[in-house]
Structure 1
């Protein structure tokens, strides 16, 4: 072990030392480390996640729900039991993640540690987790760490992220965009400064892990080598992930050329192998990051706060070498996992052999050609070839309707006025502008719908609430669209469940969707014909639940190409996007494909993503 203090070396030399020593620790872990990674990943996927999912469903049932719908969440009978079960779920997940990371740190720190001594060390860590001071570790593991992806990663926290509909909306204004960017920079800076929290917690006595990490990363020579080293590790493993994805499609590419009929089966087992390899790659990336962070703690041990010291090594010292049969056990477990993953994936690959028929909906029109919810944006979406245009309708002070998303005019017109406080004539004389340099007038619903009819462009009309709706706003909207002879030629949706229910009650023949900012577990109990789920929670499981309930499934707002590809491959009924031209290009590309190699690559890339 290199014992010179970080302050005695330059940033680049310190970075090299951290990477070199971290690499040595990972190599020293050998078969036991590989077995640990595989066992942890399979236990979490095969046991922990199903148990947590079952507890979560029971928690919802206790409150009279079969799925989570944040738009209709009510506190009532059974809420106490629901809250208790959710606390239990958080406690289980926290304990599992903490013990997973602790086991990894201990095995990297002392690769020859005997099983009994390893158990004792884990017991010491488990007892510390019961102390009130470990609450800070919970916040770090479940909030700061997943949001930035810098440091340890776990399957249990992979879904934690800032929803794209929040980040996307914030980016549409200069002020909020700058504020959000500064917020992200702050998160990254905090994460770098607290990156040593887990290894300090596991390897030391006396508590105060977060404070110790903050102290050890003080100054440029404290945090910069850690940031550079972890960034290098994640970059290397991301490259390996891409290489793995390329290798995984080779058998399917060969099958496509020689025996196309066998491609679904070949692709399924190739996918199974890639899934296992992706789990191992992700685990090794976490181990490599952990090794770098352990090295940083050991090199800075002299600067730990008073009362915080490295835990003494067990008296028994180095344990016996791992038995040779361990390699065989690991290999057998890997083969079983590949066969299981592959068999489960045959149906998926057969479905992917079909061409995607997903509808492409331009979100509020097409912002590349006009301001959102304006005639210019509508015409740009038509020019781009969108299947439908999603637009918003809001009621004015005099009970009329305009095309508008925001309840106030600050973002688009630089005014503090609220839509509900202005009349139709006042609103339609106001000019709105966007960050692309476009400008236009706020259109009335009548003008917007009339232009859509001229273009032959069907609309997905969202009923937005601005706070000043009349009790009969749904009835008035129906009457206005009937007057325009546009009611039956368009479809509808809303975040407001009562508006959805009222519209279906008035006109059961209309196609109406229920929009959900967050959903989980199961499809909602709704009279709607389809659901529109925000991309963050638009999981394949929820999509299957919607299908089983006889509901269509759309997702919003999908603006990154990987998400577009995923939903096209999944056969999502509709993708609402700010970039309809990109989705249309991808859909055309997929419809022209022959064979399954390209489809397999898109799926494999998701499984082998590192960081």
Structure 2
């Protein structure tokens, strides 16, 4: 199908402008519904899944236990069905209100959504499976802006992408993955709006979307880019003017009232333009679908004359609701002081001054003001502890061999390199002795490779005691069993459990602290840890906006590749409104 991009672009802008009050009101109500009723329903089903399996949370360690419970699979199926229905509901509201505006008709919402519910309820297993796959594919690219409120909450954890980026072929693999996902998203971007409008199976609408995007997709992308760029420019100007005004009113950036007002206005501007951004895509998609002759499979009614007046009143009411919500959020954010007592923990040392986990990176961390250095240790073939993160030595040493298969003497002779730096693999003892000379403490991560002897915990405890650091250093591992063994055998050693992925509260783990990846951290978990009398450390926090975010959270330590940035943010008394805007934009983009 040949796409008249100029006409579509003009009609999209006209449509959004003419229906701005109605779109704004429905979008606010929709988001409130999804954030309350929708999210609560999903959390309720999720808690039932955990309760049925006798678990407090869902992590990579207990996934088998949860899935093997008798009621878990049926409840998980219910969870997927509910998630898919809520996603369809969101797209149904947005798509139908745009479609009706083009036709200058009024949607009979009760009848329309009831039929949409019945249609989704009668989806065959095949159609549901295809939708779930499509939903997953929406996550990496957020479907080029046409994303669900729920898919936006998911993203690829940074610990996965960071490790990929450190591998020679990792960057290529990651970029190729994003390109493939992006291409699939472009080709299937008409699928859900088509499913909302017509009464055909999801698979049929996937084929229709492939047909529509067979030609003209580059021109369509260029049109979206131009419209989105114009929107970003307008929104950016409004945000800049708003920020400049508050910068002039409160040069110190510390007045809570001004901070709160700035936050409220900025969030409303951001919300409005995020909604408009999504409507640009939906309006253009619906316009193309409408021009193809796709008809609604249910009835509509003529619009009434006083519709615009009602929309303005509803827009005013919803704006008041948003002011109250954002005001509460802003007060919570700006009424908390920066936690200047947070521990700055250099992740594998400071690799800007040496190879990770080397003596040089250890010294570099001390130089830039870190309180602790996080290091990884493994056992060699002859049961000696060496400082190395990777099980395989190929990435740093260029040797395709495992640490567990080599003796300490063999490993000691190897040269490791990273960037422009070269070094050697130190023993744990050598690393500790150098840390003592530098007067910096260590956070020791145990990385069991599976070939350890049965007395592995005893070997580590004895080594800590021999080096005289069992009372001053902290230790952690992703292996909870080993940490609990160490805690039981020697309570003087502070132990922590590394949790890469967690949903739900903490379980009753016999450790002193939790180490959470940025993806899993939330205020509910923070409160749960505090209730249990345990600290939380977060990793790996590497950008200034995220660093400042955690400096305002109740965390005991920040594990970072850039300890100098954390130090700088802690010591930075000035916090201008332009800096606040940067962090706010980062949080919304992420």
Count the aligned residue pairs: 583
Aligned: 1:54 with 2:34? no
2:345 aligned residue: 361
1:452 aligned residue: 435
Structure 2 distance, partners of 1:41, 1:72, is 33
User: How far off is 1:393 after superposition?
Assistant: 0.6
Contact 1:269 1:338 in 2 (8 A): no
Aligned: 1:126 with 2:117? yes
1:70 aligned residue: 60
Contact 1:37 1:280 in 2 (8 A): no
2:395 to 411, 414, 417: 411
Q: 1:216 to 1:266 in 2, by over 3 A?
A: same
2:138 aligned residue: 145
Structure 1 distance, partners of 2:464, 2:321, is 59
Structure 1 distance, partners of 2:232, 2:48, is 38
Aligned: 1:593 with 2:574? yes
User: How far off is 1:494 after superposition?
Assistant: 0.7
Once the two structures are superposed, the pairs formed by residues 70-469 of structure 1 within 5 Å of their partners are 70-75=60-65, 79-111=69-101, 114-115=105-106, 117-129=108-120, 130-132=122-124, 134-135=127-128, 138-139=131-132, 142-149=135-142, 150-207=144-201, 208-219=204-215, 222-239=216-233, 242-243=236-237, 245-246=239-240, 253=247, 256=250, 263-298=255-290, 301=292, 310-311=294-295, 318-321=302-305, 322=307, 324-343=309-328, 345-352=330-337, 354=338, 356-434=340-418, 436-469=419-452
2:559 aligned residue: 576
Structure 2 distance, partners of 1:76, 1:42, is 31
1:563 aligned residue: 546
Q: 1:146 to 1:172 in 2, by over 3 A?
A: same
Structure 2 distance, partners of 1:323, 1:217, is 35
Contact 1:566 1:602 in 2 (8 A): no
User: How far off is 1:464 after superposition?
Assistant: 0.5
User: How far off is 1:475 after superposition?
Assistant: 1.2
Contact 1:238 1:610 in 2 (8 A): no
Structure 1 distance, partners of 2:548, 2:7, is 41
Q: Give the secondary structure class of the aligned counterpart of 2:351.
A: coil
Structure 2 distance, partners of 1:178, 1:82, is 38
1:34 to 19, 24, 28: 24
User: How far off is 1:450 after superposition?
Assistant: 1.2
User: How far off is 1:401 after superposition?
Assistant: 0.7
Which sections of structure 2, spanning at least 5 residues, go unmatched?
Answer: none
Structure 2 distance, partners of 1:588, 1:123, is 57
Residue deviations 1:396-451 (CA, integer Å, cap 9, x gap): 111111111111112222322111111111111112222x1322211111111111
Q: 1:237 to 1:566 in 2, by over 3 A?
A: farther
Higher relative contact order (CA 8 A, sep 6+): 1
Structure 2 distance, partners of 1:544, 1:241, is 36
User: How far off is 1:276 after superposition?
Assistant: 4.3
User: How far off is 1:148 after superposition?
Assistant: 0.4
1:305 aligned residue: none
Contact 2:345 2:374 in 1 (8 A): yes
Structure 1 residue runs of 4 or more that deviate by more than 6 Å after TM superposition: none
Contact 1:396 1:402 in 2 (8 A): yes
Q: Give the secondary structure class of the aligned counterpart of 2:541.
A: coil
Q: Give the secondary structure class of the aligned counterpart of 1:446.
A: helix
Once the two structures are superposed, the pairs formed by residues 398-547 of structure 1 within 5 Å of their partners are 398-434=382-418, 436-547=419-530
Q: 1:445 to 1:610 in 2, by over 3 A?
A: closer
Q: 1:567 to 1:17 in 2, by over 3 A?
A: farther
Q: Give the secondary structure class of the aligned counterpart of 1:79.
A: coil
Q: Give the secondary structure class of the aligned counterpart of 2:552.
A: helix
Structure 2 distance, partners of 1:247, 1:555, is 35
Q: Give the secondary structure class of the aligned counterpart of 1:362.
A: strand
Structure 1 distance, partners of 2:299, 2:86, is 27
Structure 2 distance, partners of 1:193, 1:116, is 28
Structure 2 distance, partners of 1:318, 1:246, is 42
Contact 2:378 2:446 in 1 (8 A): yes
TM-score, length of structure 1 as denominator length: 0.87
Which sections of structure 1, spanning at least 5 residues, go unmatched?
Answer: 302-308
